[in-house]
Amino acid sequence: MTTIPAIGLMHSLRSGNATAPRLTWYGPDSERVELSGRVLDNWAAKTSNLLQDELDAEPGMRLRLSLPAHWKALVWALAGWQLGLETVLDGGPADFLVTDSPGAHEGQYDAVIAVALPALAMRWAGDLPAGCLDYAAEVRSHGDVFMPHTDPDPSGRAVLTGQGTSVLHGELITGFAVPHTDGARLHVPAAAGLENALAHALGAWQRDGSIVLTHPEVALTDKLLAAERIHGS
């Protein structure tokens, strides 16, 4: 079986101290979402199964993430990576588009997936363009365990950055993630963008750490820092 860093990372998230927080999100209107390693793996597995079973995604295909830095965007990146897809962050062409603003992309993609960002959203609020898939309404019906039909290729491309640089699956940790100390509990501002959030999250998770991701409207107060025990580098 071919092993890529993303698959090893998902295994570590769901094993060991799987109930520890790995991703905490602070959003508008006092929204707080906390995902343990097990829950994060569960969301990624369901999303990978949606891609593989419903959209016929396979290694080497391209997944464009047109999303802000948000906990659901990180789930989508993990789902694509463990399936062997290339995550496109520069707005370039792709097989699939994942977006919180559907409506102007007809005909450019094999599938457009609309992501409602509110944590409690059970479906997209309002009408969607014909053929657009509603992530919130569809994802929960998919399996909690992901088994790829085809082993991902470590020499395949994992990320196309906003600067147009490609990173291979086999180099996802060494060539894309930002290194962090063991067990770090990091603050990551969503205002710095999705690419920054992904790079820091990977670096923290790789070393048994976690992140606190905050929406631009959320003030980083001393109370929040203390409550979330943010530390490390």
The CATH number of residue 220's host domain is: 3.40.50.12780
Whether 36 shows a pLDDT value over 60: the answer reads yes
233 in a structural domain: no
pLDDT score, position 5: 95
| CB distance 208 to 233 below 8 Å | no
169 in a structural domain: yes
47 in a structural domain: yes
At 162-192, the pLDDT tens digits run 999 999 999 999 999 999 999 999 999 999 9
Whether 2 shows a pLDDT value over 60: the answer reads no
Name the average pLDDT for the chain. 94
Sheet holding 21-27, edge to edge: 31-36, 21-27, 210-214, 185-189
180 in a structural domain: yes
Domain housing 118: 5-227
232 in a structural domain: no
43 in a structural domain: yes
Instruction: Kindly indicate the confidence band of residue 232, based on its pLDDT and cuts at 50, 70 and 90.
Output: confident
65 in a structural domain: yes
Number of domains in the chain: 1
46 in a structural domain: yes
Average pLDDT of the segment spanning 17-37: 95
Whether 157 shows a pLDDT value over 80: the answer reads yes
Q: Which residue has the higher pLDDT, 178 or 126?
A: 178
For the question of whether the overall pTM of this predicted structure is more than 0.85, the answer is: yes
